[in-house]
């Protein structure tokens, strides 16, 4: 059976507007879909969706444990199950009280701004040594990490070659 074929200029986001693309009639509903040059028949995406079941979305349910519980050195859930670094310790069940998790307090924009104003950069613990000496001679990376003292006076920048 022959299906209708049309050649149209590119209209979609991933098509070149100056080029012609082959469109073919869906064999079930008659809707035109873009196809390759050697296609003999096609089924459009809407007909395929009708023929198949929707995908199953498996979402994890709430386990009742806080996020990151498996990274804690020790965690005890409501039922008394004891976990050490994410691994259950059945011998210790019921021997420890449940871990209390306190939610972190969210800071307001005013509190954040106040903290930012008060913040001062910490002075380095190192005042000598090889790395300290090197750090004194090297400029910041955004300037090309110059390693000689005359860099600031240079007119030509070789870091953007």
Residues whose CB is less than 8 angstroms from the CB of residue 149 and which lie 6 or more positions away in sequence, other chains included? 137
CA proximity to 159, closest of 146, 140, 147: 146
Model pLDDT for residues 84-121, shown as the tens digit of each residue: 998 999 999 999 999 988 888 899 999 999 999 999 98
Query: What residues does 75 pair with on adjacent strands?
Result: 83
Q: pLDDT above 70 covers what percent of the chain? A: 91
Q: Is residue 155 over pLDDT 70?
A: no
pTM higher than 0.85 for the full model?
no
Beta strands across the sheet bearing 74-76: 74-76, 82-84, 87-88
Q: Which tokens hold the place of 14? A: 């991933």
């Amino acid at each position: 059976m022959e299906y209708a074929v049309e050649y149209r200029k590119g209209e979609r986001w991933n098509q070149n507007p100056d080029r012609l693309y082959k469109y073919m009639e869906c064999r079930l509903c008659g809707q035109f879909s873009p196809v390759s040059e050697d296609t003999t028949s096609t089924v459009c995406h809407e007909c395929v969706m009708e023929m198949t079941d929707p995908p199953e979305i498996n979402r994890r349910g709430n386990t009742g444990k806080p996020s990151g519980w498996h990274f804690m050195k020790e965690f005890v859930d409501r039922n008394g199950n004891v976990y050490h670094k994410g691994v259950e310790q059945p011998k210790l069940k019921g021997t420890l009280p449940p871990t209390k998790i306190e939610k972190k307090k969210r800071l307001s924009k005013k509190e954040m701004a106040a903290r930012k104003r008060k913040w001062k950069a910490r002075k380095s613990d190192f005042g000598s040594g090889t790395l300290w000496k090197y750090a004194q001679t090297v400029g910041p990376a955004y300037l090309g990490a110059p390693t000689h003292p005359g860099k600031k006076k240079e007119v030509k920048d070789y870091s953007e070659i």
